[in-house]
């Protein structure tokens, strides 16, 4: 028996609701927990988990195991529904902590932005 195909928006909404309830049950400021669906397209979704700054410690404690478990749950649900998922964490009032690798942009001494491989070439004289 095959399961009904769910839209990416429906899957992202379900993950958002579940993540909200899970996080609210373990933090000290549950009223300040929110999960926003930032972007959804045909095969990818980005969710932003917002928590009180004091609750960041709770989610990142024990080498980030709680946040990692939450991401594992969210990734499993999304993968089962053929959806790539990115879950970002943000303390309310601060910029998001991305799950993406840092950018290759660096600031040069002259205040101009350049890619880090260009900066390496300019410093080595190549």
Residue 20: per-residue pLDDT: 95
**Residue 107 falls within a domain, yes or no?**
no
pLDDT tens-digit series, residues 74-98: 999 999 999 999 999 999 866 555 5
To the question of pTM greater than 0.85 for the whole model, the response is: no
Residue 5: per-residue pLDDT: 67
**Residue 22 falls within a domain, yes or no?**
yes
Residue 33: per-residue pLDDT: 94
Residue 50: per-residue pLDDT: 94
Ranges of the chain with pLDDT below 70:
1-5, 93-126
Q: Give the integer Cα–Cα distance in Å for 24 and 112.
A: 43
**Residue 19 falls within a domain, yes or no?**
yes
Residue 11: per-residue pLDDT: 92
**Residue 3 falls within a domain, yes or no?**
no
Distant-in-sequence, close-in-space partners of 25: CB < 8 Å, separation ≥ 6 = none
Q: Are 47 and 35 in contact (CB under 8 A)?
A: yes
> What is the sign of the dihedral through the CA atoms of 16, 18, 21 and 24?
negative
Residue 4: per-residue pLDDT: 67
Tally the domains of the chain: 1
Residue 38: per-residue pLDDT: 92
**Residue 117 falls within a domain, yes or no?**
no
**Residue 120 falls within a domain, yes or no?**
no
Domain residue limits at 71: 8-98
**Residue 125 falls within a domain, yes or no?**
no
**Residue 123 falls within a domain, yes or no?**
no
Whichever domain contains 75, its CATH number is 3.30.70
């Amino acid at each position: 028996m095959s399961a009904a195909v769910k839209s990416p928006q429906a899957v992202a909404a379900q993950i958002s609701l579940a993540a909200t309830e899970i996080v609210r049950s373990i933090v000290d400021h549950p009223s300040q927990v929110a999960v926003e669906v930032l972007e959804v397209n045909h095969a990818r979704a980005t969710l932003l988990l917002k928590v009180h700054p004091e609750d960041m410690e709770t989610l990142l404690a024990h080498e980030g195991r709680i946040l990692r478990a939450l991401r594992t749950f969210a990734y499993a649900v999304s993968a089962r529904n053929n959806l790539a998922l990115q879950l970002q964490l943000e303390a309310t009032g601060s910029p998001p902590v991305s799950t993406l690798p840092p950018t290759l942009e660096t600031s040069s001494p002259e205040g101009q932005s350049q890619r880090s491989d260009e900066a390496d070439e300019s410093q080595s004289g190549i």
